[in-house]
């Protein structure tokens, strides 16, 4: 499979996946309703892009990946199904994208992009050449995605539409949990249950790092302690496995 078409290629998630595939040598095409900065950037990176949606724009594609915002009656989705071309959502493709890599997945209501970028920068400075996808730019690298040659794939694990359940991480990080996205998770319990399901996707030889400073994340750890998952707590509390000490603040920021 060498040609993959994206419907909604100008979005944060799909443009990042498209960039990784381009760097891996795939032929990438895609469409979107408007020329956003990410749409223009992926065009410059080598993707064949189209403004608007039309059936003939999937010509030559062997797989179609669509944004969660794209409806079933989209002309490109309809054409792909008529031709027998598989149509996947982003979450359905993540397992394949991260195959053969040690995946570090960062989840949580807040702080995912910052934490993911920090991990990427650390691995890059250690010359470990990570692959990565996140929802914002790594300022020092001036991009939001990269196909690195090293063993690690660092990914911002978005809970929206249960995207993160498409991952089987070697290491999962949960920064905090506070009820969000009520269109997908009507109640706090349903939201918490999604994170429980995410932890159960951690590989048997892997582990999860959970911020015990956050009440929601700490409660999740307590409720999952009986599961066959290696859980490690981090934070400023003395009872955590990894405790932050000697924290220095500059202008109110550690």
Distance of CA 186 to the CA centre of its chain: 22
How many angstroms separate the CA atoms of 134 and 112, rounded?
Answer: 8
**221 φ/ψ angles, rounded to the nearest 5 degrees:** -60, -40
How many angstroms separate the CA atoms of 195 and 222, rounded?
Answer: 13
| 3-state helix vs strand vs coil in the chain, percent to 5 | 35, 25, 40
- C-beta of residue 115 within 8 angstroms of C-beta of residue 105: no
Q: What residues act catalytically?
A: 112-113, 156
Cα angle 147-137-8, degrees, rounded to a multiple of 5: 75
Who's near 6: CB < 8 A, 6+ residues apart? Answer: 14, 15, 17, 18, 28, 29, 30, 31, 47, 64, 65, 66, 67
176, 226, 174, 163: which is closest to 199 by C-alpha?
Answer: 174
């Amino acid at each position: 499979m060498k040609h993959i078409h994206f419907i909604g290629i100008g979005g944060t998630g799909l443009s990042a996946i498209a960039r990784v595939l381009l760097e891996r040598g795939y032929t990438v095409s895609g469409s979107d309703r408007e020329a956003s900065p990410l749409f223009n950037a992926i065009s410059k990176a080598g993707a064949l892009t189209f403004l608007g949606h039309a059936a003939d724009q999937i010509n030559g594609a062997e797989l179609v990946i669509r944004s969660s915002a794209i409806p079933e009656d989209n002309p490109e989705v309809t054409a792909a199904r008529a031709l027998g071309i598989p149509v996947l959502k982003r979450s359905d493709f993540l397992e394949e994208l991260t195959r053969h890599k040690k995946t570090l997945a960062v989840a949580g209501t807040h702080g995912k992009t910052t934490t993911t970028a920090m991990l990427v920068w650390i691995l890059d400075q250690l010359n470990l050449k990570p692959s990565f996808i996140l929802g914002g730019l790594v300022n020092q690298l001036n991009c939001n995605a990269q196909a690195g040659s090293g063993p690690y794939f660092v990914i911002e694990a978005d809970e929206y539409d249960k995207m993160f359940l498409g991952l089987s991480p070697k290491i999962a990080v949960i920064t905090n949990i506070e009820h969000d996205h009520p269109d997908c998770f009507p109640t706090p319990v349903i939201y918490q249950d999604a994170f429980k399901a995410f932890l159960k996707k951690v590989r048997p030889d892997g582990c999860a790092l959970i911020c015990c400073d956050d009440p929601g994340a700490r409660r999740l750890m307590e409720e999952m302690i009986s599961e066959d998952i290696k859980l490690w707590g981090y934070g400023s509390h003395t009872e955590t496995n990894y405790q932050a000490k000697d924290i220095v603040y500059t202008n109110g920021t550690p």
